[in-house]
Amino acid sequence: MIVPLRAASTPSCGSKAGALGALLRAGLPVPDGPAVPLDVYTSAVRGLHPGTLARREGPAAARAAILGRPVPAGLREALAAALEALGGGPVAVRSSASDEDARDGAAAGQYTSVLAVHGVDEVVEAVRTCWASLYADTAAAYRRDRGRDAHPAMGVVVQRHLDAEVSGVMFTPAAPDAPTLVEASWGLGPSVVEGTVNPDAYTVGADGSVVTVVADKRTRLDRRGARLVTRDVRAPDRDRRVIDDADARRLAELGQRVAAALDGPQDVEWAIADGRTWILQARPITAALPHRTAPSPTPAPAPAPGATVLTGAPGSRGTATGLARVVRGPADFGRVEPGDILVCPWTDPGWTPLLRIAGGVVTEVGGVLSHAAIVARERGIPAVLGVPDATLLLADATPVTVDGTAGVVTTTVD
């Protein structure tokens, strides 16, 4: 009914569980726990045909049908025994879909994970929530756009919840002489992966050198009892680096071990809790990061008179020109036309459908390793991230040019 995460494989439990199982077997620090195999989901939806239901009545109907199904007999008891073996305390319940974390598309952030889950009844409901997220509107659109399997299955990973002091994302090198890229911020990882904070950026060279860009980190996510709470970062910590050079080097070394165990460059989510570094997830890197262009021997041309030039982090390479469309939330989604430049405070996985039609993306906060930036790179959409006050400085419907390779946004103001 369930298997130890250490024994999980991709064919039986989905890509996320398979990768974490391989890392545990390789001796890497991964929070342990059980995995719910794909065939348990298949048994739960037998006769329901959620893929067909989603096509006929829409993804919401498929989600409701899955959530309304009882879990297979014996699953609750098996999970209760596994939770007791973990010693009690909160757990993280994470999706592990059959089409997730693949080399030809990460589905980054498209499926649901639930943190700070207490007790077997809440775990069972979180498992059902992960199953239903197979038919989240954004996930269904992502599969359709990429020609993916319309009938995927969902495994689930249940792990001890870590109350991280620091967390982030790391991209391991694509070549022996390439650097490791690390983004980090205070608190739990969703702040970084969902792009709701400007993280510190660390570039760790193959020679062990570390280049650091410290960000203004305004908020953090933490567990308080059974809830996740977003709170302000204390003023002295906002512009204080969250890891030192030695930590950055240790992360890079850990990333090399992850890449070796999984046979290729990896996008790694990590956390530091109680002084120990943990690996929470690893997936293949699906699209190359942009690199800042080398300085030209001749000065770059000055902007045209009246032009406004804003700079940020280069998140997805390429250049696009279109009308700025300021979007502050889902209520504004209907205003975005094909080719518009999406200008927003940040993007999260729920905004993925906009990336199907937008010509480019500009955000006020968020790192280049966040889920939205990954999807932008997969779609080949230029993106510039972390541009302060972009939604105020770029007027709606103003022509804008986005250079996602250089991290520059240019607009002409009348």
DSSP 89: S
Tell me how far apart the alpha carbons of residues 184 and 165 are, in angstroms, rounded to a whole number. Answer: 11
Packing angle of the helix pair 50-57, 59-67 (nearest 10 deg): 140
Q: Are 270 and 279 in contact (CB under 8 A)?
A: yes
Q: What are phi and psi of 295, to 5 degrees?
A: -60, 135
What does the buried/exposed string (b/e) look like for 80-115 if buried means 16 or more CB atoms within 10 Å of the residue's CB?
eebbeebeeebbbbbbbbbbbbbeebbbbbbbbbbb
Q: Are 201 and 315 in contact (CB under 8 A)?
A: no
Close Cβ partners of 14 (under 8 Å, ≥ 6 residues apart)? 38, 95, 96, 97, 98, 100, 153, 154, 155
Q: How many CB atoms lie within 10 A of CB 409?
A: 26
Close Cβ partners of 409 (under 8 Å, ≥ 6 residues apart)? 309, 310, 311, 312, 362, 384, 387, 390, 394, 400, 401, 402, 403
Radius of gyration of the chain (CA): 21
User: What is the Cα 299 distance to its own chain's centre?
Assistant: 37
Q: Which pair of structure tokens corresponds to residue 241?
A: 């680096």
Active site residue 118: no
Q: State the catalytic residue, choosing from 118, 161, 291, 371.
A: 371
End-to-end CA distance of the chain: 65
Beta bridge partners of 212: 202
Residue 171: which H helix or E strand, with range? strand 166-171
What is the dihedral sign for C-alpha 172, 178, 182, 183?
negative
Which residues carry out catalysis?
A: 371
